[in-house]
């Protein structure tokens, strides 16, 4: 039996916010993006409802190491010490020693970090399986091709299941709640890169997946159309953020203008309850910070090039 099962982690009590994914094939079970440690109880309950426990897992596959995707990993290893964890080589050191990752996340989330993500435990180095992209992983009868897909993060990979045509693309394809049309970019700091991101979207599209699995949230069935529209959304947000930075007195004013504009767009596009859910999932303040940082880095690079 081969199955791909979406597990809703019910993050902060809100369904359809963070998805983990269970891959089963010939008695082999792998988990893509186990989510934050704050939702471990939900994850255990979801596994139990399928007759499984954490001890039954054979592999954890991380698309990237952001806390909403990966923070539970260390805790899973407490219950299943032999569990191999597949992660991009640039992210691996921060999974083994999360101190820097936590310092960076604390700057963004402040005192909410514990409530949102729980205890982030280190993963022993011997459990890490480093990926660069280009690998094919075999789990039971299932083969997953690994593609390096930076842009959202320098340590982002996507997994392609050729058996069922599903691409597990983490945050590379943005935020779109299953069943809805609206797509929001996810552009948090520190290392979004639009040029690399576009190349990653091309690499995903070139494989012609039938479905995409977005961590936020669910399956996308119109994969090609979604990828085309997402590239356009990224282009719009990049242009808009650059324009707001140029035309506002300071960055705080530009940030306010960006968030107001996007919230307005979401409210117009969706019924009130669904709009509120998108705003919650969207993390617009964080996306603004990532975009502003992208423009600052570009300006610094141009200045450096000019001074040489």
pTM (two decimals): 0.97
More confident position, 302 or 270 = 270
The least confident of 53-57, 82-86, 187-191, 216-220 is: 187-191
The verdict on residue 308 lying in a domain is no
Report if residue 23 sits inside a domain: yes
Number of domains making up the chain: 1
Least confidently predicted of 174-188, 251-265, 290-304 = 290-304
Domain CATH number, residue 154: 3.60.15.10
Would you state the structure tokens that stand for residue 126, as one six-digit string? 């011997």
pLDDT at 198: 98
With respect to residue 242, please indicate whether it lies within any of the assigned structural domains: no
Residue 37 confidence (pLDDT):
97
Q: Give the C-alpha separation, 184 to 275, whole Å.
A: 12
- Placement of tokens 């990653």 in the chain: 200
Task: Give the pLDDT confidence score for residue 7 in this predicted structure.
Answer: 98
Give the Cα separation of 68 and 152 in Å (integer).
14
Higher pLDDT, 197 or 249: 197
Q: Residue 127: which of 174, 74, 165, 175 has the closest Cα?
A: 74
Domain region containing 155 = 2-232
What average pLDDT score do residues 48-65 get? Answer: 97
Backbone angles phi and psi of 19, in degrees to 5: -110, 130
Residue 163: its pLDDT value, please?
84
In a domain, 46, yes or no: yes
Contacts of 134 (CB under 8 A, 6+ apart): 146, 147, 148
Q: Which residues pair with 175 in a beta bridge?
A: 184
Q: What is the pLDDT of residues 103-126, one digit of tens each?
A: 999 998 999 999 999 999 999 999
Task: Quickly state the pLDDT bin for 177 (edges 50, 70, 90).
Answer: very high
Residue 67 exposure: Cα atoms within 13 Å on the Cβ side: 26
**pLDDT reading at 207 higher than 80:** yes
Q: What is the model's pLDDT at position 167?
A: 98
pLDDT digits (tens, 9 = 90+) for 246-286: 999 999 999 999 999 999 999 999 999 999 999 999 999 99
State residue 132's pLDDT score.
98
pLDDT band, residue 1 (cuts 50/70/90): low
pLDDT band at residue 34 under the 50/70/90 scheme: very high
Cα 159 from Cα 150, distance rounded (Å)? 13
Q: Does residue 244 belong to any structural domain of this protein?
A: no
Does residue 20 sit in helix, strand or coil? strand
CA distances to 158, 160, 168, 253 from 136, in Å? 12, 9, 14, 47
Taking 90 as the threshold, does the pLDDT of residue 64 lie above it?
A: yes
Q: Does residue 160 lie within any of the structural domains? A: yes
Strand, coil or helix: what is 293? helix
In a domain, 31, yes or no: yes
289 inside domain: no
For the chain, the average pLDDT equals 96
Cα torsion angle, 191, 193, 196, 202, sign: positive
Structure-block tokens of residue 104 = 């960076």
| Strand order across the 2-8 sheet | 2-8, 19-25, 28-32, 59-61, 85-88, 128-131
Residue 169's φ and ψ, nearest 5 degrees, are -110, 15
Say if residue 301's pLDDT is above 90.
Answer: no
């Amino acid at each position: 039996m081969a199955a791909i099962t979406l597990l809703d982690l019910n993050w902060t009590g809100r369904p359809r916010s963070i998805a983990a994914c269970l891959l089963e094939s010939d008695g082999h079970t792998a988990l893509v993006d186990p989510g934050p440690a704050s939702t471990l109880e939900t994850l255990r309950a979801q596994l139990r409802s399928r007759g499984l426990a954490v001890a039954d897992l054979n592999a954890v596959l991380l698309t990237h190491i952001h806390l909403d995707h990966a923070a539970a990993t260390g805790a899973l290893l407490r219950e299943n010490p032999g569990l191999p964890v597949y992660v991009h080589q640039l992210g691996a050191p921060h999974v083994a020693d999360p101190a820097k990752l936590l310092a960076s996340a604390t700057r963004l989330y402040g005192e909410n970090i514990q409530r949102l993500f729980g205890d982030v435990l280190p993963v022993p180095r011997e459990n890490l399986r480093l990926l660069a992209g280009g690998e094919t992983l075999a789990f039971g009868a299932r083969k997953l091709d690994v593609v390096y897909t930076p842009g959202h993060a320098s340590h982002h990979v996507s997994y392609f299941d050729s058996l069922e045509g599903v691409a597990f693309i983490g945050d590379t394809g943005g935020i779109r709640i299953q069943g809805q049309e609206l797509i929001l970019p996810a552009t948090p700091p520190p290392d979004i890169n639009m040029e690399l991101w576009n190349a990653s979207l091309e690499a995903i599209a070139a494989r012609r997946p039938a479905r995409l699995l977005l961590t936020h949230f669910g399956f996308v069935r119109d994969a090609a159309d979604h990828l085309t529209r997402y590239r356009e959304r990224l282009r719009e947000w990049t242009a808009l953020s650059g324009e707001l930075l140029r035309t506002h007195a300071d960055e705080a004013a530009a940030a306010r203008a960006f968030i107001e504009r996007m919230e307005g767009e979401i409210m117009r596009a969706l019924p009130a309850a669904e709009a509120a859910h998108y705003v919650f999932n969207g993390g617009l303040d964080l996306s603004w910070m990532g975009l502003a940082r992208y423009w600052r880095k570009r300006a610094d690079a141009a200045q450096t090039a000019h001074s040489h």
